[in-house]
Structure 1
Amino acid sequence: MPQSCIALLLAHNTHVLICKHEQFGALVDEVKEMGFDPKKSTFVTAMRALCGKSSRSIWNRNREIYRRSWGWSEDDLVSAFRKNPQCMILSEKKIMQVMDFLVNKMGWSSRLIATCPVVLCFSLEKRIIPRCLVVKVLLMKGLVDEDLSLAYVLLPAENKFLERFVTRYTDQVPQLSSVYDGKLDIKDV
């Protein structure tokens, strides 16, 4: 394990380090068996998600939420966890709000979100909603393709998003900046 991962454990995940030696060894083995590389920070996050009774119960609760409420398969769950272990230790409220918005309001497939689980960790109010509303306006105006990927919309840094979706279309839709800033409802565009 590289020094950066050890530092991450020491700084933010000390509860992982204070478990009994046997438990720690079993946890390391379990995380390795799930396909995590001990040289990457996701290994530490996976250990955090699976360490201790409360973390394990949160992990199991979220597993059931993704399955029952959103139709994720076991493969979806494992894949999402491998890509972003943090998605399995979010609050139930956070999961439900983000999934509801992306699936029911934006129309993205629940299983598509499993392929890019980092979006579940983004702020709904500061990142997801403003960006999605801009995209919705552009879709309504026929300026972008309906097949925009979730990653293309939500992953880029803010300046890249603004360049791709706001600045680029300012001539056709001058109100986009106001929609993005939450000052204008999309119905008023």
Structure 2
Amino acid sequence: MYSLIHHGRRFFEFQKCHNLRVSVENGFAFSNSFSSASTVDLRLRDGRKGNNFTVSYLVDSLGLAKKLAQSISRKVSFEDKCNPDSVLSLFRSYGFTDSQISSIITDYPLLLRADSQKLLAPKLQFLQSRGASSSELTETVSKVPKILAKKEGKSISRYYDFVKEIIEADKSSEFQKLSLSLPQGSKQENKIRNISVLRELGMPQKLLFSMLVSGGGFVCGKEKFEESIKKVVEMGFDPTTSKFVKALRIVYELSDKRLEENFKVYKRLGLTVNDVWELFKKCPGFLAYSENRIVQTFETLKRCGLLEDEVVLVFKKNPLCLRASEQKILNSIETFLGLGISRDEVMMMIKCLPQCIGYSEEMVKKKTKFFLKKMNWPLKAVVSHPQVIGYSMEKRIVPRCNVIKALMSKGLLGSELPPMSSVLSCNEQIFLNRYVLKHDDKLVRKLMAIYTKDRVS
């Protein structure tokens, strides 16, 4: 295993010399719930009751942006401030800063519905009794709040020690192997050993902590884990990215028989073995789709009007289109047809932007109506540039269009509306240079005020 670590380090040092782009993304979407008999049920209640109160509370009490608060409210909801106030007060009494508390709640919002005195306080007291200083306790828990979901005693103690050691190692740029007393061959011992290996390969804290507190079986194995990580490293995946984690999970969980079956399916549909592996490097998750889902998606797209080689090209462009069910694909196409777009044009849009078959009816209609009614762009502009439907209304579409409307009202753009692609498809700096910064200082200030008003960064 140590030779693998050495090989991995050399490989990625070589890659970085060639300007390998490192992108640390959110780790696998691991889920974790309090499972012991002594823990309270923190599961999100069905329905949307209390969402408005929750959003207001998060904004007022934690200073969170409204957009972030709305996102959190979809995971946890409450109708009064009694329990969340108690949780926040507990954290503050242990020296957690407002910034750390915001980070904790953003990462693990279900804590707001925990019983602060029966569930959280005993665990914080336990960690403090082990000799954790106030700063160590607050830093470690704020880095990985899901540690509070672990059972009080040896379990939470071991996870805490491991998290703290990673944090300290990163500060000193050194990492020493753990010397925790764990049962040989136990699930927990395997997980910590395997995560130690990933840490040695250079995986960042955020991804390590996600796996540490998860129930992910693929980091609990031993021999199979070593085989899987060797394959993923040799394929060239970068351990600093979440794509490495996804690839490792797929390689670990899929049997050789299942992989062989999937390869046969893709080959039958017109892809080569090299095609499949290249797509795997681009999007590891696609290899886990069942034969039925793969065939169903291919056949659905063919029935909708694409030729067989066109379906293959669509899939190569974005294999995630397999996530869309048959009904989702048909509904998306009906939505576009209902807007007055011809079937041939819809097929052209899919070939240009495969993920558009997964867009919701509400989103497509809302944005298309805005482009046509508010901005007077022709429908053909949307057909030619379907990517605009995927742009954020709050971050890109509305702010930029408000600037264009202001310039039009002053007669500074002539009599014709600029092309949609000129306004929306360019990056922010090009847009600002093209439509804002070229004017005199007074107008620039006015335009920037319009551009940044209510804009979500």
Q: Place the TM-score, normalised by the shorter chain, in its bin.
A: 0.7 to 0.9
Q: Confirm or deny that 1:179 pairs with 2:450.
A: yes
Could you tell me how far apart the structure 2 residues matched to 1:140 and 1:47 are? 45
Q: Confirm or deny that 1:156 pairs with 2:431.
A: no
Q: Is the 8 A contact 2:382 2:388 kept in 1?
A: yes
Q: Which moved more, 1:38-47 or 1:103-112?
A: 38-47
Secondary structure of the residue that 2:437 maps to in structure 1?
helix
Q: Is the 8 A contact 2:400 2:451 kept in 1?
A: yes
Q: Confirm or deny that 1:44 pairs with 2:44.
A: no
Partner of 2:210: none
Could you tell me how far apart the structure 2 residues matched to 1:8 and 1:180 are? 35
Q: Is the 8 A contact 1:32 1:38 kept in 2?
A: no
Please identify the structure whose Cα radius of gyration is greater: 2
Within a 5 Å distance, the mapping from 1:59-74 to structure 2 comes to 59-68=329-338, 70-74=339-343
Partner of 1:91: 360
Partner of 2:290: 18
Unmatched 5+ stretches in structure 2: 1-274
Partner of 1:33: 308
Structure 1 position 157, deviation (Å): 0.9
Could you tell me how far apart the structure 2 residues matched to 1:92 and 1:22 are? 23
**Alignment-mate amino acid for residue 173 of structure 1:** L
| Cα distance change of structure 1 residues 125 and 108 upon mapping to structure 2, 3 Å threshold | same
Partner of 1:5: 279
Could you tell me how far apart the structure 2 residues matched to 1:20 and 1:183 are? 45
Structure 1 position 29, deviation (Å): 9.4
| Cα distance change of structure 1 residues 88 and 23 upon mapping to structure 2, 3 Å threshold | closer
- Pick 1 or 2: higher relative contact order, CA cutoff 8 A, min separation 6: 1
Q: How many residues align?
A: 176
Unmatched 5+ stretches in structure 1: 50-54, 185-189
Could you tell me how far apart the structure 2 residues matched to 1:115 and 1:24 are? 28
Structure 1 position 32, deviation (Å): 6.2
Q: Is the 8 A contact 1:36 1:43 kept in 2?
A: no
**Alignment-mate amino acid for residue 81 of structure 1:** I
**Alignment-mate amino acid for residue 111 of structure 1:** K
- What is the TM-score normalised by the length of structure 2? 0.35
Q: Is the 8 A contact 1:99 1:120 kept in 2?
A: yes
- What is the TM-score normalised by the length of structure 1? 0.78
Q: Is the 8 A contact 1:28 1:47 kept in 2?
A: no
Q: Is the 8 A contact 1:62 1:88 kept in 2?
A: yes
Q: Is the 8 A contact 2:399 2:453 kept in 1?
A: yes
Q: Confirm or deny that 1:144 pairs with 2:413.
A: yes
- How big is the alpha-carbon RMSD for the aligned residues of Structure 1 and Structure 2? 3.0
